[in-house]
Amino acid sequence: MSRWMIAVTLTLAACSSGGREVQVEVAIPGPDSVDAPVAHLQFVALPYDRDSIIKALQGTRSRPEPLTRRLDSLYTRFRKPFGLYALRAYQVQTLSRNQAYLRQRLDSLPRNAPGYDSLYAAFTKYADSIAAVRKLRDFAQDELAIARIDLGPTIDSLRKIMIRWEDSTYRGYDSVTKSLSGGIGREPFADSTGADGKVTLTLPSGKWWIYARSWDAWDPHSEWYWNIPVTGKRVILDRTTGSRRPRY
């Protein structure tokens, strides 16, 4: 057995008796930086530690630092215009939603009802605010378009090089995981969260990890990553248990 295969095998825990129910909950920061449930997020329950396999396959083949530094620099430049546009778009959406709520209340009241005038004044104020923020959003959208033209081709070119490195480095991943699953008698299986960002699994006996990735509302070139061992009845995938990683 190879050195890396031994290292991976040692991470597998002995099986315990009986299956169990586990609830998986997912929440990530939205454009307002408040954690919100992630509906219909796909994840995989793994009977092995994915990170240990990735580390073993990398061996001495660390990521090409000059390439990652260039990509990180480009990502940083792109993140500012993208984040500003995301914020302005979110503000327009929020103001429009609040205005629609006031419209519903106004439509349900006669014009001579107490409080109608104050509601109408608030409705009008929302209209003015939306118009102002839309201008800011449109300007931010123009700036983002310029950034895409300026930075996009170089980012795409460098990412193709990185993908070739990953394909070469992790070529043996499928065969390794298939061998591990067969050796311990349990196969990975996929599932997804419901509309509330939660789902309950029935896991067979043994040790399991929950592996998932999710978008980053503030940066299209990064993602949230989780590889969490199941140690209790709940597995929470959020900013405290995951890591925000560049998408190379």
> Same structural domain for residues 105 and 198?
no
Residues 232 and 202 in one domain: yes
Q: Are residues 78 and 95 in the same domain?
A: yes
The last residue of one of the domains, among 115, 136, 167, is 167
Residues 163 and 93 in one domain: yes
pTM: 0.82
What rounded mean pLDDT belongs to the chain? Answer: 91
How far is residue 115 from each of residues 97, 104, 107, 128, measured CA to CA in Å?
20, 14, 13, 20
- pLDDT tens-digit profile of 100-159? 999 999 999 999 999 999 999 999 999 999 999 999 999 999 999 999 999 999 999 999
Predicted confidence (pLDDT) per residue in 71-97, tens digit: 999 999 999 999 999 999 999 999 999
Total structural domains in the chain? 2
Q: Do residue 220 and residue 197 come from a single domain? A: yes
Q: Are residues 146 and 77 in the same domain?
A: yes
- Residue 19: predicted pLDDT: 80
Domain match, 215 and 194 both: yes
- 72 and 57 in a single domain? The answer is no
Examine the domain organization and report whether 162 and 71 are in the same domain.
yes
71 and 152 part of one domain:
yes
Give the span between the Cα atoms of 27 and 49, in whole angstroms.
22
Task: Please indicate, yes or no, whether residues 26 and 48 belong to a single structural domain of this protein.
Answer: yes
CATH of the domain at 242: 2.60.40.1120
Residue 18 banded pLDDT, cuts 50, 70, 90: low
210-223 pLDDT, tens digit each: 999 999 988 999 99
Q: Which range marks the domain in which residue 82 is found? A: 65-167
The answer on 158 and 78 residing in a single domain is yes
